[in-house]
Structures are given as structure tokens and as C-alpha cells.
Amino acid sequence: MTGNIPSQIAYLEALQFLDLSDNANFGYPPDANNLAMHPPIPTEIGLLDQLQVLNLNWNTLQGFIPTELFECTSLRDLYMRGRLDRTGNQLSGTIPSQIGKLKKLNTLAISSNALSGSIPTQVGDMTILRRLELQENKLSGSMPDCFDTLKHIYMWDTYGNQLIGGLPPSISNATTMQYLYVQNEQTDIIRNYRCGERIPMMGSAHVSPNIPSSQAGNKFNWYVQVAEYFNYHYNSLCGQVHMDASEAFDALSGDI
């Protein structure tokens, strides 16, 4: 498929499932310099108040996410993933605060795009959210302190962004969390507590830990025992946070 989603999609008033995924030339406007005239996601999509699943993965969508999309308050799953090699969707701009209107949403997946700005605190209004995938974007700021209301969160992935700071206090209440993917810098407290233990698949004595996250094989899976996380602030036992055993032994020379 080529072209864009037509505005006439709004006439399908009873539509519940829409899957337009995996089309390498779908979403690229005829005039890439005029996205306002040829938006890949029309504002009229917000009239589909019965839409439950919208899958726009792996197309070539560009431009902003229209705020009208979040009028689809029946949505349970929203997929707009890009690709790590940047040949797919490249949605830009910020994540609208109106996202909090999607109170029935289970899955939000907008990974590997070009989203910027902060993660809105209104994410916490999606109280039955189970899976959040915002990795490999250009998001900044800190993680929102929203886990008090995310009682069902199962996976949180904000790896490969430009977030700052540690994990928010409310994450200690994320008792349903199974997978937490965060940036290397956000685990300094834990690695310091464990004497600089390296995170699996994130550097070694021969591979820099600063290798860009988009390179294959360097994303890490680090399950944080969140109930203990904030105790680590007060247990800074090691002076060299980034030293690990393999580096120490590789630095030895001479005979034993």
C-alpha cells in the first residue's frame, strides 16, 4: 500500500479493528515538505469512537501525532512502531498530554520513532495500561512519577532516549512489573551498590559501554527489585561505579 489514511475513514462509524501495518511506502506524503496538507494520520480518525485496536506498525508515517487520535477512547491497543534502522515510521513532536484519555488502553507501542519532549504525567491516567514501549526515541526529562496509578503495568521500556535522573519514588509501588528497560545512567545506584556489576550485554573490557543503543545486541534487560531500589541510595559501597571484575583481571600483567 502507498499513500496515507484517507480522511473518509471517519465514515466507518462501527469500525473496531484497523490494521494497516508493514507497508514500506505507506504514510509518506506526496509532498514531504507539507505534512500539514498531507498528514499521514488524519484528524478525522478521532471520530472512530468504537475503535479498539489500531496497528500502524512499520510503515513510513511522519509528522506529529494528532491530538484527535486520543478521542478514540475505546482503544485497547495502539501500535505505531518504527524500525531501528530508521527506514520505518518517524513520528516526531511530543507525546500529547491528551493521551491520558485512553483509559481502556492495555498496550502503547511507539518505539523507534523520533518523538521528543518529556513523557507526560498523564500516562498515569491510563490505569489499566500493561505494556509501554517508547524506546529508541528522543525523549528527554525524567521518568514521570506515575506508578501509583499504574496498578497493572507489566512492561515499561524507555531505553535509548535522553532521560535524566533516577527512577521515580512511586516505582516502588509497581508490584506487577516484570520487565523494566531503562538507560544505563538510571542504574548507577544499583551498580554502585553491587560494586559496579555490569548490566548484561552492555559493554565489557573490550566493548565500550557507550556503544549506541541502536546497535544490535547492546540493549539490556535489567529486572530491578523496586522494593529495594531506594535503599541503594544509602549504600554507596564502591568508589569506581563502572569497574567490574573482568576489567580488573585484564589490567593485570607479569608473572604469578
151 vs 189, residue with greater confidence:
151
* DSSP state, residue 160: T
For the ranges 61-65, 74-78, 183-187, 209-213, the lowest mean pLDDT is seen at: 209-213
* DSSP state, residue 35: T
- Structural domains in the chain, CATH included, are 2-250 (3.80.10.10)
CA–CA gap between residue 164 and residue 110 (Å, rounded): 20
What is residue 159's predicted lDDT score, i.e. its pLDDT?
86
For the ranges 45-49, 62-66, 126-130, the lowest mean pLDDT is seen at: 62-66
Average pLDDT, the chain: 80
Q: Could you tell me the CA-to-CA distances from 13 to 77, 78, 191, 232 in Å, in that order?
A: 18, 18, 52, 53
Sorting pLDDT into bands at 50, 70 and 90, what band is 192? low
CA–CA gap between residue 89 and residue 139 (Å, rounded): 16
110: cell is 511507539
Across the range 57-65, mean pLDDT stands at 93
| Tens-digit pLDDT profile for residues 131-173 | 999 999 999 999 999 999 999 999 999 988 999 888 888 888 8
The candidate with the shortest Cα–Cα distance to 133, out of 97, 82, 98, 65, is 82
61 vs 248, residue with greater confidence:
61
**Residue ranges of E strands in 69-191:** 77-79, 90-93, 107-109, 114-117, 131-133, 138-141, 155-157, 162-163, 179-181
Across the range 25-50, mean pLDDT stands at 81
Judge whether residue 202 has pLDDT over 50.
no
What is residue 32's predicted lDDT score, i.e. its pLDDT?
58
126 phi, psi to nearest 5 deg: -85, 75
For the ranges 51-55, 74-78, 194-198, the lowest mean pLDDT is seen at: 194-198
**How many CB atoms are located within 10 Å of the residue 179 CB?**
14
Can you tell me whether residue 209 is helix, strand or coil? coil
Across the range 174-180, mean pLDDT stands at 84
For the ranges 29-38, 64-73, 172-181, the lowest mean pLDDT is seen at: 29-38
pTM: 0.78
CA–CA gap between residue 40 and residue 106 (Å, rounded): 24
Judge whether residue 174 has pLDDT over 70.
yes
Percent of the chain topping pLDDT 90: 52
CA–CA gap between residue 18 and residue 4 (Å, rounded): 14
First to last CA, the chain: 67
The candidate with the shortest Cα–Cα distance to 107, out of 167, 163, 149, 153, is 153
| Tens-digit pLDDT profile for residues 234-245 | 544 454 544 455
CA–CA gap between residue 125 and residue 107 (Å, rounded): 14
What is residue 15's predicted lDDT score, i.e. its pLDDT?
98
Across the range 206-231, mean pLDDT stands at 48
* Cα dihedral 69, 72, 75, 81 in deg (nearest 10): -10
